[in-house]
Amino acid sequence: MADYHFVYKDVEGASTQWDDIQRKLGNLPPKEPAFKPPPFTPAEDPDSKPKDKSWIDDKTEEELDDLEDELDDDRFLEEYRRKRLAEMREAAKIARFGSVITISGSDFVREVSQAPEDVWVVVILYKDGHAECELLLQCLEELARRYSATKFVKIISTECIPNYPDQNIPTLLVYNNSAVKANYVGLRSFGRRCTPEGVALVLCQSGPVLNDGQGGGEHSKDVLDGVRKRFIEKVVADREENDDDYSSD
């Protein structure tokens, strides 16, 4: 005869009257509270946020592109979306360079002659170990960081122009829209003392060479005014430093 054993399990959290009496007498531990799941909280839908300027500002460039058709009925937001997208693309454009790039002779056409029409390219012909080249390169590195929409490149002089005489280095070439806009031979082109401010002032005479990618005559004037201001401040600071040196002697 088969022996069947049944195990009865009550509803979780329930107890018998006998158990309750035993707990009152202290013979059983207190009853654990019945399990209650946490209240349901629906996940926040990102599209449920009110559609305003801050909602647009939170979007990435790709997301803003995807919204092109969605905002057709809201003229204000559509205009703001376009403005925001243009700002983001302009910011990416501004930060495209930022240092002096080393190129070889085989890179010259691609990196310089075929640069986009809106990009000004400053090329330094140099040689390693040449003191005047090193000084001008230091100035260009600072300008490259300050004006990251301008493309600065360096190339060994004889790789760019075979048999280029060392007496002509450093040489700067300024390119825009596939054409040479200016050339400066030797360090003397940048004044008695070669400084980033002095180099910038000379470059600005060739056109809107130093810019942040936004273009426009008014902006170019602002850049030139800033260069002149820094140049004057540098001259004054150097003069004051020299005066202090003389007074201490």
Residue 144 CA from chain centroid, whole number: 13
Per residue in 102-134, is it b (16+ CB within 10 Å) or e — as a string? ebeeeebeebbeebeeebbbbbbbbeeeeeebe
**Pairing mode, strands 171-176 and 120-126:** antiparallel
Q: Is the peptide bond before 170 cis (omega within 30 degrees of 0)?
A: yes
Q: What is the pLDDT of residue 23?
A: 75
What pLDDT, on the 0 to 100 scale, is given for residue 243? 54
Q: Give the contacts of 217 (CB within 8 A, at least 6 positions apart).
A: 208
Band (98; pLDDT cuts 50, 70, 90):
confident
List the domain boundaries for the chain: 53-94, 100-236
Rounded mean pLDDT of the chain?
A: 75
- How many Cβ atoms sit within 10 Å of the Cβ of residue 177? 13
**pTM to 2 decimal places:** 0.56
* Rounded distance between C-alpha atoms, residue 30 and residue 76, angstroms: 64
Given this model, what pLDDT does residue 28 score? 72
CA distance 162 to 129: 19
What sign has the CA pseudo-torsion 90, 92, 98, 104? negative
pLDDT tens, position by position, 25-42: 777 777 777 667 777 665
Q: What is the DSSP string of 108-175?
A: HIIIIITS-TT-EEEEEEE-TT-HHHHHHHHHHHHHHHH-TTSEEEEEEHHHHSTT--GGG-SEEEEE
Mean pLDDT of 83-99: 70
Q: How does pLDDT run across 198-221, given as a tens digit for each residue? A: 899 899 888 889 865 544 433 456
Closest CA to 10 of 2, 18, 132: 18
| Residue 158 near residue 164 (C-beta atoms within 8 A) | yes
Q: Return the CATH class of domain 100-236.
A: alpha beta
Name the token pair of 114.
Answer: 């075929």
Residue owning tokens 């140099």: 126
